[in-house]
């Protein structure tokens, strides 16, 4: 189950329409260890954002191609957030629709990798901590 959660969380952080929260909650309800669920989901989701960072760093030259993962207006919105709030905007990396472009733009703008990694991990791990905390509070296992 932990490998499934890791892979689902990784894919959820890319442009693929995958939701990891459902699997994490299901595993929590089945009695899996909360600590390991948090670690595995956070690591997978962070690694998925690292993939976006690498893509932003090296694939921007292909933005005019049909297969390019982000539309121009999505990149513009993410770029605006990043320009306005700087690296701190990566604390929103957990959000749907905005998080993926932000992590891509961080790579595009060549943000220092260690800064990227720390901010994105805090964002992603924070989301899973809140999710698991709420589930444990209202539906303890």
List pLDDT tens digits, range 83-126.
888 899 999 999 988 888 889 889 988 999 999 999 999 999 99
Task: Say whether pLDDT at 78 is over 80.
Answer: no
- The DSSP symbol for 115 reads H
For residue 59 the two structure tokens come to 């694939």
The Cα-based distances of 10 to 33, 38, 50, 107 in angstroms read: 19, 13, 10, 17
* pTM score, whole prediction: 0.87
Helices (DSSP H) in 13-112: which residue ranges?
21-29, 34-58, 72-85, 99-108
**How many domains does the chain contain in total?**
1
Angle between helix axes 21-29 and 2-12 (nearest 10 degrees) is 160
């Amino acid at each position: 189950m932990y490998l499934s959660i890791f892979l689902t969380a990784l894919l959820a952080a890319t442009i693929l329409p995958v939701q990891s929260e459902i699997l994490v909650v299901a595993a929590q309800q089945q009695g899996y260890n909360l600590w390991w669920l948090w670690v595995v989901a956070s690591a997978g989701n962070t690694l998925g954002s690292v993939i976006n960072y690498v893509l932003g760093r090296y694939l921007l030259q292909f933005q005019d191609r049909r297969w390019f993962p982000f539309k121009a207006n999505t990149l513009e919105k993410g770029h605006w957030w990043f320009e306005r709030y700087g690296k701190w905007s990566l604390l929103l990396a957990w959000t749907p629709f905005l998080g993926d472009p932000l992590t891509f733009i961080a790579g595009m703008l060549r943000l220092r990798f260690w800064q990227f990694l720390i901010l994105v991990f805090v964002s992603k791990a924070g989301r899973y901590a809140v999710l698991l905390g709420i589930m444990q509070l209202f539906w303890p296992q």
